[in-house]
Structure formats: structure tokens, C-alpha cells
A and B are shown apart, each in its own frame.
Chain A
């Protein structure tokens, strides 16, 4: 179980508990957080689950593999250094307290 904070572009935030095994993407879908579409269902194909990990994050996140890196070049909102595909971020106690920022648009 991990507490994940999803910050919306309008300044509000949604904080939810997400159980493992799940991803940060799944956590958003489960809680009907509108800012994540995830059309490909988590297979790193669509780039519509884009998030910006909070700049101050110190929690350990998995290395980015090549296909995630490639998909991030085509997201609707510009890629930044802290861009990730939320479907590639598995939830575990290690990331309890993770804060992600939702982009203005996913598609």
C-alpha cells in the first residue's frame, strides 16, 4: 500500500491509497482521476498516462527502459526531465508518499 498524490493542473490534488500490485496509472484509473487516460491499458504504447514526478522526489523509482523513453517523446504535453509513464511505475511501500503532477492534456 502506498499513498499517492496526484496534483491537477488547476492546483487541486487527489490523495489516494493504492495497493500493490498496481501501477501509479492503475491507481488513477481506479479512483477515476480524469487527468490520466491510459488508452493502451499500460503496455507503453500510447503515452496517455504521462506524469511529471514531483521535483523534490527522493523516493526510488525504476529505471526508465528504452520503450518508455521513446514513447515520452510523443506525449501531448512537453517532455521534461521528470516525465514518466505512470503505467511503468509499480506501486510498492517504497514509493509511499509519491507526488506526481498531471499534465494539462494527454491526447
Chain B
């Protein structure tokens, strides 16, 4: 580690360096990416000063359960926490809660907080996440129209969904988030309609086979799933009691859906304002290099807010997933400690709806061949996606072994062909076991994924 310290000290000459010769590190945003960055720095022995700035007052928490177990009531607040209360002080990490980074003075190397406090940095990590896109129609600001991103928002939503009344819930957008919310609301006993503008659910991120299976599951559970339909306006009640509260969702074509609660899940926008104001390169995300450094080499960006060059697509992408935020955080921590190198981790993602376990390995956008293996009728199958004959991603429904093995195969490179998968009785487990010697490392295939892939 001595060499690493020398490295950081040298490149921060003239910048704030603490008593250990290590740069002061400031991390903005205490979500998945921010917390994993500071934890990984300490786990790897970083001796310098670390400050983690959290706009939210809640102890840093995980977001995935917000639309699943937490909303349902099967995961409690303690189960959400990324780390317990005393974790940060025990590791000498200054966690500043309930304050917001308002500006970055790159010339002086300092972050200014809303409270007026100033935090000098030698290295700065932006982990500001993303925020829900708003529905761009009239009535979107009525009461009872919600998005879901934060714990506070989940608590409010849970209040509405569990106050004993059976509600008409309209979910706008059939991405992962919208469908998870629909599943949870339905499980809690509400009448649920999902409205999706494109031809099928989760169309941006999964193949038709998975899309259809998931839509069928929702319909089987009693959810109305409308595709190729757009919301054109939201209307308040006509009664004197609730003029400001949403009661009707108007669709193109004129259909009007009754609604006591409208949940909007139409994607997220990266929180780039700080970076933009600081003059960093920005464009649907803070643009970073393969080492996850912004256009200022002392400033990194990780997680939902970062747009990075992915070796898996051959172009810049922005991914919204726990995997991406966590693995980028670890990479940046290593980079700060002098173990420099490109970020190359294989993307993967999961979602849970009712009892369905959906898992995605790699990036399947831009595939030209998809082969289904397993038993779709029994609700256990995987879709193997190929581009130019090479495996680029695998989607699994209730097949966790396929998912895990696929991650290994994709990461190390595989010569699995569409024909192998299509063979009757194909079993990925057996295939992986047969191949004792790992295949030669291959360069990941280039494919297309211009939009944020997981919403």
C-alpha cells in the first residue's frame, strides 16, 4: 500500500493532503454508490480524512426493497439500512446528514454545503444518483400522484396503500419499478391498472419472451395491463371534498380510468446539476473516462449519475442498478488508493414481482438472436441473447443458477453458441461443468445501448 500512498500524494500536490499524505476525500451522496465508496476506502486501508455528504436525514439505506418488501411490510426499516448507526463513526468517516452539496469550487478544491460549511478535498466523488422523471401532462401535480425514489416517499406511499381502503391504483409506465409497484399494490389488495406507451412491458430492457411472461403473470394476478396507451391528462375530483386530488386518468383515445392513486414510473434523470455548475462535462449523466474520472481528474462520478464507456457495449452508457453503483464505488476506491485501472465489471440486475425472480446478466440490447431454454410453461426459463453469434446477455425467470453461471461465462468469455442452447435438454449447469479449462479472455462484444438501461 506504500506505493499507492506515494501515488496519490504526488498527483494531489498543491491540493489538500491530510497528515497521512493521503488526499482528503469528499463523497457527495450517501446512497449505494457513496456508502460503498467510503466503506471500500476504509476496508482497503485508506488512512486519510473521509467526509460523506447526505442530503437525506435518514441513515443511508438500500432502495430496492422500497418498491418490494418494505412497501409490502415484510422488510422493516433496520433491514433497509446499508450500514448500522455506529458504522461510520467507528471507521472515522464523517457522515454529514441533512445537508446538501450546493457547489464545487474546483480551483480551490472545496465543496460548499447548503449550511455554509466548506469541505476541502483532494479527491471528490459524485454519487448523487438520479430522480424520477415527471409525467409531462396536465394534472401531474395533483395530490395523489406520486413517484418513488426515497424512503420518505415510500413511507407516504405505504401509508396510502395500507390505510384499510381498497383503492383504484393506476401505474404509469411498465418498467421494472412500475411493475414492482403494481405487484405490491395488487398483493396489498388494490385494483391496479398499468398503462404503458410502448408495445410491451419492460420493452427497453428485456426480450419479448420475458416481457410476455411477466405481463401474463400480472394479468393472472388480476392487474389490467394496457400497452400502446398514453396518459394524456390527469383530472381532479368534481366533488367539493377533493378538487385538488387526482380521481381520473385520461388516456389517448378518450378512455378515462378511475384513480385514487397514480404512481409514475417512467424512468429517471441523473442528478448532474452540481457537475454542470462546476463546468464538468455532462450529457445524460456526468461523463467519465474508463477510470470513472470526470473531465477533472480529481473528481470521479459513480452510480446512477455517471455515464461511462462500457466495454460491454463499446460506447458510453448510464446504468441504474445496485451492481453498477457498488462495483463502480469499489473501483473508484481502488483508484484513489493508487490501484488504477478501467472499470469493466459485467452489468447485472434483478427484480422481484409476486414470486417471480427476474435476473439479467450482461446487456441484451442490440441482440440479433434470442434462444429460450428451460420450461416457460412452468415459469422457469432463461433467454440467451446473442449478437453476431456471441453471447451478450442472459435473462432468467426463476432460474438463479442460470443467472449466476451466465455471469461467470459472460465475464470470462464463452464460446456458447445459439445452437448449443437450442439443443434439446440443454442444461447450462452441465455445460459449465464440462468445460474444465476456462476459455481464453475475449473482448466484450460491442452492441447498442444508448439509453439508461435499467429504470
Contact = CB atoms under 8 A, between A and B. Distances in A.
A and B are interacting partners: yes
A20 to B, nearest CB: 12
A103 interface: no
A63 to B, nearest CB: 17
Contacts of B403: 74
B237 interface: no
B91 A45 contact: no
A70 B406 CA distance: 13
Contacts of B399: 70
A82 interface: no
B83 A29 contact: yes
A32 B42 contact: yes
**Main SS class of interface, A:** loop
A57 interface: no
A22 to B, nearest CB: 9
Interface string B26-70: 000000000000011011100000000000000000101100010
Nearest to A34: B43
- Chain A, interface size category, equals 20 to 34
A49 interface: no
A59 B42 CA distance: 32
Given A32-B39, A107-B327, A71 B350 contact: no
Interface string A23-47: 0000001101110010111111111
Contacts of A75: 404
Counting chain A CB atoms within 10 Å of each CB, the highest count among B40, B404, B405 belongs to B404
Contacts of B42: 32
B87 A74 contact: no
Contacts of A71: 400-401, 404
Nearest to A26: B84
A29 B62 CA distance: 13
A67 B352 CA distance: 14
A46 B350 contact: yes
Contacts of B350: 40, 43, 45-46
A3 B357 CA distance: 33
Contact of A74 (B43, B345, B352, B406): B406
B325 to A, nearest CB: 9
B227 interface: no
Interface in A48-91: 67, 70-76
B357 A74 contact: no
B20 to A, nearest CB: 18
Given A71-B401, A74-B405, A76-B408, A30 B429 contact: no
Nearest to A66: B400
Nearest to B345: A107
B222 to A, nearest CB: 25
B64 A41 contact: yes
Contacts of A42: 79
B262 interface: no
Contacts of B128: none
Counting chain B CB atoms within 10 Å of each CB, the highest count among A42, A44, A107 belongs to A107
Nearest to B322: A39
B318 interface: no
Given A32-B91, A39-B323, A40-B322, A74 B40 contact: no
Contacts of B348: 46
Contacts of A34: 40, 43-44
Nearest to B403: A74
A2 to B, nearest CB: 16
5 contacts: A45-B357, A47-B404, A67-B357, A74-B402, A74-B405
Interface of B: 39-40, 42-44, 62, 64-65, 69, 79, 83-84, 87, 91, 322-323, 326-327, 345, 348, 350, 352, 357, 359, 399-408, 429
Given A46-B350, A47-B404, A70-B404, 20 more contacts: A29-B83, A30-B83, A32-B91, A33-B43, A34-B40, A34-B43, A39-B326, A40-B350, A41-B62, A41-B65, A42-B79, A43-B352, A45-B359, A67-B357, A73-B401, A73-B405, A74-B400, A74-B404, A74-B407, A107-B345
Closest A-B pairs by Cβ, 5 of them: A74-B404, A34-B43, A73-B401, A70-B400, A70-B401
